[in-house]
Amino acid sequence: MIFFMVPFVKSYGVFIVAAVVVLLDRLSKEWILNTFALFDRKTMIPGFFDLVYVTNTGAAFGLLSGAPSFWRHLFFISVAFFVCLFLFFVCHRHCKGSCPVSFGVGLIIGGAIGNSWDRIAHGAVVDFIDFYIRGFHWPAFNIADSAITVGAALFSWAALKNPDILPGRWQDIMPYFAKKPAACQPSQPMESIESDEK
């Protein structure tokens, strides 16, 4: 948890984390592209973990993989751009240097850039991490996917603990998480009750 101890200064930490994610994502994918042929597989931990070269033209679990390529790529890249823009705005204007938020937003932006890079350069996202148990395989993923997942979890956790980091009236949207139940108060002051009894 050393990252949570680093004094991030508003959005600057976001750029650092995003750059590290993009670098690791690109290095790992370039190694896979130069080492594996499509659908090649190398067992790392028998019965649990393999490296495999597969591509995904859609989103998670192949969503929209059958749509025309131009509109599919335009859709995913546009969504990634606007999500990154929104998160950067939230972090810069509202997080006030919050380390978990900065780190989480940086992970999400870095992951989105990494996968968008694949869509532009290769027409599909390169996946290579394959975990499985007794023949059940979790859908293959990559470092960018992992960064987005961890970043979204961090951002959600921070938002639930401190809804003020989000723009707008968050308490009106999620009152259960944003507001603490008021302590029980007597319907009538004790002094008044005693005077009534007399």
Q: Which of 14, 39, 2, 6 is nearest to 112 (CA)?
A: 14
Residue 48 has φ and ψ, to the nearest 5°, of: -145, -45
Out of 25, 118, 130, 145, the active site residue is 145
Chain center to CA of 31: 24
167, 96 in Cβ contact below 8 A? Answer: no
CA distances 71 to 77, 111, 117, 130, 156, Å, are 10, 21, 16, 28, 30
Distance CA 177, CA 165 (A): 14
Task: Spell out where 10-140 has E strands.
Answer: 41-45, 49-56, 125-133, 136-137
Selecting among 25, 118, 127, 130, the annotated active-site residue is 127
**Catalytic residue list contains 145:** yes
CA distance 129 to 189: 64
Query: CA-to-CA distance for 89 and 189, rounded, in angstroms?
Result: 47
Q: Decide if 118 is catalytic.
A: no
| Ramachandran region, residue 126 (left: φ > 0; alpha: ψ -120 to 50; beta: rest) | beta
Q: Which residues are known catalytic residues?
A: 127, 145
